Structures are given as structure tokens and as C-alpha cells.
Amino acid sequence: MGLSIAWQAALDGVSVTVVDPSPGGGASHAAAGMLAPVSEVAYTEEPLLRLGVDSLARWPAFAARLAEATGHDLDLRAEGTLDVAFDADDLAALHELSTFMAKLDLPVERLTGRECRRLEPMLAPSVRGGVLASGDAWIDPRRVVRALLAALSGLGVPVVRRSVAGLDTGDDGVRGVRLAGDESPATIPARQVVLATGAWSGTLAGVPPEVLPPVRPVKGQIMRLRSPVPVLSRCVRGTVRGSAVYLVPRGDGELVLGATQEELGFDTRVTAGGLWELLRDARELMPGITELEVADVVAGLRPGTPDNLPVIGRSALPGLILATGHHRGGVLLAPLTADLVVRLLAGDTTDDHPCSPSRFKDSRT
């Protein structure tokens, strides 16, 4: 999120510095990169769906510009998501959800088990049926991060690989960012600071507690498998006896299998139980995965908020802009967030956006 904002801001002529001890090492490193507002839709979350659809529409231009600036291949794919069901109850729930999706005018199509296997021959014969969300896409977030760093370097944007000790503030608001450690300079002066520290956004020192966004870590364990050739031609999500899993294919044969959703604070241990859960469900949908090599397992922390919407906008502390709380949709929502934040940096003062931090004001008084 921070790198996307920094890149767009620099393109807009803003003088920007990124401070991050490990750029792209947070949730982006774990994320599968689904650009899937339709298949991720949940009842009661229409505002989030609309943001996702808006940001998805911005991705092709964002990716094309990034690829052109850097020569990097981002593995952006747009063959849609096939959401499949394992048993009769899973299918009933999926059909109910597809009725909700259709009511929202989303492009979805119900398929029989046989039609699902025709699209994806590696699916198990037991798959009962599915729903194709043909507008969904996906991208490789690790490639995006590498490309963003290259683009920032090309524009001469400094990336300071140090931890932040806190915000430097005065009577007039933000004055800069204090760096941790004793190397100099200890403070980077700035009139405006964008807080885009994901699950850690609620913990920045030097900021009054009522200004910090109500963000909590939501752990996700995710596994990368390797196959000599791609085994799926689109993203597959599935529900197996009520439990959700997704499989995201990359052009080079990598298959990403995710993800657990655990409320365990800042715990980032990869556990046997977490991986077992993923493999158990994924194998029911695609038995052939047991033949694939394990390439990588990682646990990341999603920045969750009380209403699952991100927090994007000016905070009550003058000069501090929040761009966090993207929970399950950080990669999807990056282009939209970057555009919104660039407008704020340029002086936009409107505060009627559904992601505005001010929506939490009353719950804190």
C-alpha cells in the first residue's frame, strides 16, 4: 500500500520518502493477489464490494504503467474465479450467494460439476457444482512489490530501510517521522505523513490514541506449491464442508493455496494445524496437489477493522493521513487507495467517503 501510494505521489510531483525496514515484507509478501471483488463478496458488505469493483477497474492501467516503467512482468491475469462446492450443503450455500450476487448485477454464472471440470480438468470428480465470476482477476503481489521498488528507484524516491520510532508532532500537527536506532538523521521532516503500516497501524508512537485507526491483526497462513506446468487456468475457490480455501495459479506453475483466518494477535507462527487445514480442503477439490512440491509457507497479518472497510483519509491530527485497514483486499484496493491518497496529499478536504477515518469518531467518545 505504501509503495503504491509513494509511486503515484511521486508521479504526481510530490516529494516523497518511504520509510520501511522491509519494504513489501508485510501482508504483501503473504498475499495471493486475488483481484476478486465478486467472488470475495459477503452478505452485508456491499460498500466493500463497490470499492473493490472500482479498484479492479483501475488495475489494468496501474499495472500497464508499472510494467512499462520497469520492464517487469507482473503476471496479471483476468480469466475469472471459479467458486466450487464440495457437498450438497456447500452447493446450497454457494447457490444462495450467487442469487445475492446476481441481485447486485454482478457477472456470475452457475455451473454443474461437469461444467466446472470442463473448465478445470484437475478438479475432483466429487465437485458438485460452481459459480463462475468471469470479471475477477489476479496478480503476483511479490512481483508488484519488486516492480514498485524499481519504479521508485527510477524516479529517485528514497526508500529508508529503517524502523519508525514514532511521529514528531507539534502544535500545528505533524512535523516528521522519527527513526528508530541511533544512526543519523534521527528525524525525517515532513508536513504530511501517510500511515500505511498495515496490521501495525494502530501502534504508532507519538500519536494520540484517539487518532490511531482501530486496526487489528488477522493472521493468514498461506502455502506456495510448485508444478512444472500450470495446473489451473483460473483462480479456484472452494467450500469444503463449510470451510473456505482458494487456489491461485501463476504463469510459472506456482500454485498459491490459502488462507487461514485467525484472530491470534501478532502471532506469525506457521503451524501444522494451519497447513493441514489448507491441504485437507484443497486436496478434496483437487487431489493432484499432493504431487506438487512445497515451495514456501508463510503467515502474514491482515489489517482488520471493525466494519471490514479500509481506513483512508485525513486523521484528526493535522498532516497525518491514514491508508490502512485493507484486511483481505490490500492488493485489490491498492490503485484506488493510491489515487485517493494522492488527492488528499494535493489538498482535497472532502470527508464523505465510506472509508473516512471519521466514521469511528462516535464509537470512541
Select 16 or 84, whichever has its Cβ closest to ligand GLY: 84
Minimum distance from CB of 218 to ligand GLY (Å)? 8
Q: Is 198 in the site for ligand GLY (CB under 6 A)?
A: no
Q: Is 237 in the site for ligand GLY (CB under 6 A)?
A: no
Q: Is 250 in the site for ligand GLY (CB under 6 A)?
A: no
For 352, which DSSP code?
-
Minimum distance from CB of 145 to ligand GLY (Å)? 16
Select 208 or 265, whichever has its Cβ closest to ligand GLY: 265
Select 143 or 327, whichever has its Cβ closest to ligand GLY: 327
Binding ligand GLY (rule: CB under 6 A), the pick from 80, 220, 238, 274 is 220
Task: Give whole-number Cα distances, 345 to 76, 190, 230, 359, in Å.
Answer: 29, 12, 42, 20
* Helices marked H in 184-290: 272-285
Select 16 or 286, whichever has its Cβ closest to ligand GLY: 286
Q: Helix (H) and strand (E) counts for the chain? A: 8, 18
> Which H or E run includes 217?
strand 216-226
Minimum distance from CB of 347 to ligand GLY (Å)? 33
Q: What is the CB neighbour count within 10 angstroms for residue 281? A: 21
Three-state DSSP class for residue 77: strand
Select 72 or 302, whichever has its Cβ closest to ligand GLY: 302
Task: Give whole-number Cα distances, 225 to 105, 222, 340, 349, in Å.
Answer: 35, 10, 36, 46
Query: How many residues lie near ligand GLY (CB under 6 A)?
Result: 7
Beta bridge partners of 187: 178
Q: Is 302 in the site for ligand GLY (CB under 6 A)?
A: yes
Q: Is 258 in the site for ligand GLY (CB under 6 A)?
A: yes
Residue with cell 483481505: 328
Minimum distance from CB of 112 to ligand GLY (Å)? 26
Identify the sign of the CA torsion 47, 201, 338, 40.
negative
3 burial type by CB count under 10 A (0-12 exposed, 13-18 middle, 19+ buried): buried
Q: Is 219 in the site for ligand GLY (CB under 6 A)?
A: no
Select 24 or 166, whichever has its Cβ closest to ligand GLY: 24
Angle at 72 (CA atoms; ends 68, 76), nearest 5 degrees: 90
Select 26 or 220, whichever has its Cβ closest to ligand GLY: 220
Minimum distance from CB of 252 to ligand GLY (Å)? 21
Minimum distance from CB of 276 to ligand GLY (Å)? 17
Q: Is 328 in the site for ligand GLY (CB under 6 A)?
A: yes
Minimum distance from CB of 123 to ligand GLY (Å)? 20
Binding ligand GLY (rule: CB under 6 A), the pick from 3, 5, 34, 342 is 34
Minimum distance from CB of 92 to ligand GLY (Å)? 23
Q: Is 91 in the site for ligand GLY (CB under 6 A)?
A: no
Select 167 or 235, whichever has its Cβ closest to ligand GLY: 235
Task: Give whole-number Cα distances, 14 to 152, 176, 203, 204, in Å.
Answer: 12, 16, 26, 24
Q: Is 259 in the site for ligand GLY (CB under 6 A)?
A: yes
183 burial type by CB count under 10 A (0-12 exposed, 13-18 middle, 19+ buried): exposed
Select 32 or 195, whichever has its Cβ closest to ligand GLY: 32
52 burial type by CB count under 10 A (0-12 exposed, 13-18 middle, 19+ buried): buried
Identify the sign of the CA torsion 245, 250, 255, 260.
negative
Tell me which residues touch ligand GLY (CB under 6 A): 32, 34, 220, 258-259, 302, 328
